[in-house]
Structure 1
Amino acid sequence: MLPKFRKSPIHHYPDGNMVLCVGHEHFRVHASVLRASSSFFDGFFGGNSKETVTHSVRCEHGDPKTDTGETDGKVIATVQLPGKNSKEVEMLLSTLYLHTEMEITWENVEPILKLADEYGFPRILAKCDQLLRRDIGNKPLEVLILADRYRLPKAFNASSALVLHDYAKISRRPEYKQLSLETRVELQAVRLRYLDGIEELSQQSAWANVMTNNPNCPTYHFQHFNNQRSTGSLTTLPLNQDFTGCQYCQQPDCAKVKINRLKDALGMSDEPVIVEDKKYYLYIELAEPIKEKKSPFSA
């Protein structure tokens, strides 16, 4: 006898033409919705504009068109998702379908992210990214962990800036080890370069060869650097302010030389990432890997 299954109480539509089998639960959904929203399911149907080809992948409950009560002939595709949690698939579908659109929160964001990333749902990934960036000021490490794991560039860059800004404290947290080894190595390298640059620029000799219009400007730049160091304003500035120019000679070129010297020694980026009301110049960027498509039929 075939094992029994249950129909999803939320996502089992009489006019649905596709069945997702997750454990002992069936989700009867619309192939057009999944195909339009997911790169994977679009590829599953071969990019066809019409769902005319039957994709029968026998699940443990048998053929849904003959064995499971889906006998109206509308079902054209059956996909078994082994190893997946039915509650998590339900949350993904509730995020996808507009009439059941659920709020993405910190309690459900990771399972939704995991499935949206695996099956290529860009709109859902973007909504998760919005949540992460909204709370980035309160949870920089948590945001970076998820952005690192699921390759979200905007959240990754911004959260890495906040982690670097408070690196000594954040890097001691147990959760820090959840970051990928690659990201931890890169954060440490950027941090060490910054500290080495601080020591270098703290010596007046480091400014001696900076070409300026006024011979007194290098000394002024050295003094101003030490003031910035003491106030902690080297890597972050308010939105309405940029690196302070040369107030000694009032020449824009001199200010540019000073800023370039700072950025070069400290490893700061030319363009900042903006979080709330601050510009951050020290951060790492996410390198997007080439991802291989995974079959949904494997655990």
Structure 2
Amino acid sequence: MKLFTFVFTSLFLLPAIAQTEVPIDSLGKLNLTYVNAAPSQSVQKAVSTGIVAPFPGSQLHLMAPMTPQQVQYLVADGTAVSKGQRLAMLKGSEVHHFTENLKAKTALLKISQKRFNANKPLFEANAISQSSWFSITQAYYDAKLAWGHLDHFAEMFESDEDDDIGYLLAPEAGLFLYANGEKDAEATRLGSIISNNSLRIKTMVSADEASLISSIETANCQVQVARTDAIVNEYLASVWSEPLPKSCNLKLGQRAQVSGHFQLKALKIPAQSVFYLNGQSSVFVRSGNVLNVVSVEVVGQSGADALLIKATPQLNNQPVLSSSVSAVQGVLIGLGEME
């Protein structure tokens, strides 16, 4: 019973803050200065860690129509390479089999093509049957497809004096990535090439703000946003930047702290103008000879000394107290009067 009486009495001793204005006359000789809340169309705030990654679908996969017994890479994973540069040494009987298969398919293509060209005028003159021409045509195109399947890889293959050795060549300039052992029934991936303009920053932002972000900023550069993924993962959405300029000085796979620029109507005020009342961010706004308490929502930071708050008609271009804020707050909650 005594405990209940103590708690009940203590509740009535706590200051009840119902007052939301302070007469300027009650502030004595306090130095009061004001700033007008300035409109801002962009809010910058930290979002997450960003990672440098290839833009989805931008990798050129280097597929071989055989599986070498050994792939000895000649450059480090992620190395910048030039077109035609040797990327790996391929070893094994499968390499020899590929070169022999290519020679056989090339010879068959020449024979079937010669036969096709010789019989085409005869078919057009109705000198041979349609079924015979169909068989000739089918043999020619089958040989052409079989040769083309091998020839595509032959364009990035260099043979060696040793029939069991060959070299994988870069089909274009970019960053070379090792393969992860991917293979299917007809081909084996030996690596991938990523062009320099495929490197982007990927970061995560709140799904509610995903449509508002316009650019991503690192310590060295600011890059426009290229795409925001529509899939939401635990309230977050992935955001991809435009290609990274060299000034960003970031490498593939590197992580960096990033901030985002959001297209959001806000007001810029000094950081010292904001105080907390009953757990709510607030400012004093002058109206005649009175300072009114106005609740605000802080949405970001502008530099080291300014905050961005959500724009409201009540605050737009209004004089906001920027000095002696703590002293005025003390008067508001009844801690004393100023002389």
> What interval of TM-score do these two structures reach, taking the shorter chain for normalisation?
under 0.3
Higher relative contact order (CA 8 A, sep 6+): 2
Q: Which has the higher helix share?
A: 1
- Calculate the TM-score normalised by the size of structure 1: 0.22
- In terms of Rg, which structure is larger? 2
- Calculate the TM-score normalised by the size of structure 2: 0.20
